[in-house]
Structure 1
Amino acid sequence: MSGEAVGVPMDVAALEAIDVHTHVHASVLDEPGGDGDGFAAMADYFKAGQVTRFTIPMMADYYRQRRMAAVVFTVDTMHVSGREQKPSNEEIAEQAALHADVLIPFASIDPHRGAAGARAARRLIERYGVRGFKFHPTSQAFYPNDRMAYPLYEVIAEHGLTALFHTGQTGAGAGTPGGGGLRLKYSNPMHVDDVAADFPDLQIILAHPSFPWQDEALAVALHKPKVHIDLSGWSPKYFPPLLVQYANTLLKDKVLFGSDFPMITPERWLADFGKLEIRDEVRPKILKENAARLLGL
């Protein structure tokens, strides 16, 4: 599975894992490289060393060499940052379509865009084939249960797609003065519980071990049938014991492998995951089977 594979469909059986949480930090129109102080601060937070910003073709080659698929996205923070996201949702979707053997495009729309955002979501789904949407409540400065976001959720639910919510602590702004002005309060997973109740058909992923609200995330995933948890953003050696216990038992069909690439690489994550006491029959569910079912692959 090395080399370019334009137009080749995904062979799920040939994949060793599906990474449901990766970030695209560079446009194909850019030169790969650094991304200012914020990017460097985040790399320092993750103890990732020198991190390269990856374009979609670079990510496709990276994951193809590892016999993995990846969900790819960026984050639209227009309301807070005043900048349009780069690369755009359209670029990510178009480029991912050229590498559909390994890449699954998600989009990101700032809920503050209102009705225009809902229209954009519909266009991205119907014209560009995006498979889900990424929300980052802390970076986008909104509570997930804020009614302004509900038109977006309605479009996503109507098309049977997935909404992925950042939860808990974040590397964004970490270690900078005032945390870059970002507020952690928005990312308590209990706010997503309201969304799951109000949109019972919406597929939801709670991203990351939700420190300091891990118990809340487990409770929401147990209580709401279509709420899942991805394990990205942390090395598995730091997972709370209760998260490991539930992943092994009551939530074995609802927990997903995610890395948070490029800040955490699949190699680093999988090496530490291999040391966890995960049951043999549960391990393939977390690494691939649960995601394949959720995303309809």
Structure 2
Amino acid sequence: MNFDDLIAIDIHTHAEEPCCTHRDDGYNEFQAGMAKYFRNPAGAEGMLPTVPQTAEYFRERKIGAVIFPVDAERETGFRRYRNEEVAEIAAENSDILIPFASIDPWKGKIGVREARRLIEDFGIRGFKFHPTMQGFYPNDRMAYPLYEVIQEAGCIALFHTGQTGVGSGMRGGMGMRLKYSHPMYLDDVAVDFPDLKIILAHPSFPWQEEALSVATHKPNVYIDMSGWSPKYFPPILVQYANSILKKKMLFGSDWPAITPDRWLADFEKIDIKDEVRPLILKENAMRILGAA
């Protein structure tokens, strides 16, 4: 990947489709609920992009993209998109895609072995965790052996934080419990793994100030600004992005729920200092990825 040729790096994009030839029972309803929440008609019509299509979209725009599946088989019953498959397609599009993986920490030792193999054999650069979808508190000690592998390899751990569009408006919230994604649980992780690069994904509604506090206090914690249109960012997030956390904020779209076109257009309209914009759009991501 030639970072000089890129105008931005999107630190948060999804490989959404399951690994098999058909969707699991309930997956259409799940995606329709997500599409309604994010006002994304493509999801409602079952037209989610493949990973090669994602690569082409981002290549046309000269935007690098970190891409990952979400392993939430235990909680949702939906088979995951195979980490190996995502990594293989990313390797074929290495000019534009950076592969992350996802392993449900409840998988225990088998998950730890998978993480080691993915790092060693497939060049995985980081791991996505979704505490609400995976049903765990990030500071639960059962997840620590997995974090140890990630820290040892110098990889990134990216955690969903705050409310989620997953299950929003669906009966019982599709079983999703918002409490698991409180960013303060990641303060413990940052203490216990001081060399682990941690990203708090999304404006952490309704715990935005807690997320800002953790990122301010812990040098190994960053925040990505994905999942929301910038026009809805709370003022305190913009304030910190312009000041003490300007080197810790990362551009992320949450593709395909939100497109970079939409995010970047709205980002142009908010009050971010000119000297801070390139930090958020690319330079901070290059630093955490070890490319700067």
**TM-score normalized by structure 1?**
0.94
2:164 to 166, 170, 179: 170
**CA pair 110-231 structure 1, distance change in 2 beyond 3 A:** same
Match of 2:15 in 1: 24
**CA pair 141-28 structure 1, distance change in 2 beyond 3 A:** closer
> How many Å separate the matches in 1 of 2:245 and 2:180?
25
Q: Which amino acid in the other structure matches residue 23 of structure 1?
A: H
Per-residue displacement from partner, 1:85-127 (whole Å, max 9, x unpaired)?
1x20000001100100000000000010011111110000001
Match of 1:133 in 2: 127
Match of 1:39 in 2: 31
2:144 to 144, 147, 150: 150
CA contact (8 A) 1:27 1:55 kept: no
Q: Does 1:13 align with 2:4?
A: yes
Q: Which amino acid in the other structure matches residue 157 of structure 1?
A: Q
Residue 198 (structure 1) shift: 0.1
Matches within 5 A, 1:236-251: 236-251=230-245
CA contact (8 A) 1:28 1:56 kept: no
> How many Å separate the matches in 1 of 2:174 and 2:79?
18
> How many Å separate the matches in 1 of 2:20 and 2:48?
13
2:70 to 72, 75, 95: 75
> How many Å separate the matches in 2 of 1:265 and 1:235?
10
Segments of structure 1 that go 5 or more residues without pairing to the other structure are: 1-9
Matches within 5 A, 1:83-98: 83-85=78-80, 87-98=81-92
> How many Å separate the matches in 2 of 1:240 and 1:213?
11
> How many Å separate the matches in 1 of 2:267 and 2:78?
37
Aligned pair count? Answer: 286
Per-residue displacement from partner, 1:137-194 (whole Å, max 9, x unpaired)?
0000000000010000000000001000000000100010110011000000000110
> How many Å separate the matches in 2 of 1:53 and 1:47?
14
Residue 78 (structure 1) shift: 2.1
Q: Which amino acid in the other structure matches residue 77 of structure 2?
A: G
Q: Does 1:232 align with 2:223?
A: no
Match of 1:65 in 2: 60
Q: Does 1:260 align with 2:254?
A: yes
CA contact (8 A) 2:19 2:79 kept: no
* Further displaced range: 34-43 or 94-103: 34-43
Residue 48 (structure 1) shift: 1.5
Residue 35 (structure 1) shift: 4.8
Residue 81 (structure 1) shift: 2.3
Residue 56 (structure 1) shift: 1.4
Q: Which amino acid in the other structure matches residue 163 of structure 2?
A: Q
- The RMSD of aligned alpha carbons is 1.5
Residue 82 (structure 1) shift: 3.4
Match of 2:116 in 1: 122
> How many Å separate the matches in 1 of 2:59 and 2:68?
17
CA contact (8 A) 1:200 1:226 kept: yes
CA contact (8 A) 2:128 2:159 kept: yes
> How many Å separate the matches in 1 of 2:76 and 2:228?
26
> How many Å separate the matches in 2 of 1:209 and 1:82?
27
Per-residue displacement from partner, 1:226-281 (whole Å, max 9, x unpaired)?
10000000000000000000000000000000000001000100111001111111
> How many Å separate the matches in 1 of 2:35 and 2:115?
30
Segments of structure 2 that go 5 or more residues without pairing to the other structure are: none
**CA pair 178-35 structure 1, distance change in 2 beyond 3 A:** closer
